[in-house]
Amino acid sequence: MHELSIVMSILDIAEKELAKSNAAHIEEIELEIGELSGIDMQAFDFAWQQAVKSTKLETADKIVTHIPGEGLCMDCETVFPMHELYKPCPVCGHHFITLLKGKELRVKSLVIN
């Protein structure tokens, strides 16, 4: 369950940002999670519930933007939606693919007061 350590890192980032400001509360946290980031959302939500208890994120609204995977075929240069790492290019069938999107795991923004 690396989701727990991911949540702990998010908490760490959020608390550091809060500490740099003059605010006391986090109202909202916006996250970007890519489809191919290796995060299992069910495990993530479960870990979140456990980890944010009695922290600055306990009452914050969590907004998650899911970023769909996107691959670039290195053979024919097609850009295509990529939902699994093992799927070939839909045009030429080759597997030399560069991931353009889908690996994101970011804290995008915080709303604090």
Partner 1 sequence: MCATCGCDANASSSIKHIGEHDHGHDHSQHHDHPHSHGKTIIEVEKDVLHENNLLAQRNRGYFDAKNILALNLVSSPGSGKTSLLERTLTDMKGEFPFYVIEGDQQTTRDADRIHATGTKVAQINTGKGCHLDAHMILHAVQGMKPVENAILFIENVGNLVCPAMFDLGEKERVVIISVTEGDDKPIKYPDMFHTSTLCIINKIDLLPYVPFSLDKVKSYARQVNPALEFIEVSCTSGEGLSGWYQWLKEKVPVTETV
Interface ranges with partner 1 (CB under 8 A)? 1-2, 4-6, 8-10, 12-15, 17-19, 21-24, 27, 37-38, 84-88, 94-96, 105-113
85 binds, among Zn ion, partner 1, none (CB under 5 to 8 A by kind): partner 1
91 binds, among Zn ion, partner 1, none (CB under 5 to 8 A by kind): Zn ion
Rounded least distance, CB 79 to partner 1, Å: 18
Rounded least distance, CB 93 to Zn ion, Å: 7
Mutual orientation of helices 41-51 and 2-20 as an angle, nearest 10°? 50
54 binds, among partner 1, Zn ion, none (CB under 5 to 8 A by kind): none
C-beta atoms surrounding 20 within 10 Å = 8
The number of C-alpha atoms within 13 Å of 74 and in the hemisphere containing its C-beta is: 5
Rounded least distance, CB 52 to partner 1, Å: 14
28 beta partners: 61, 111
Q: Which residues contact 64 (CB under 8 A, 6 or more apart)?
A: 30, 31, 32, 33, 41
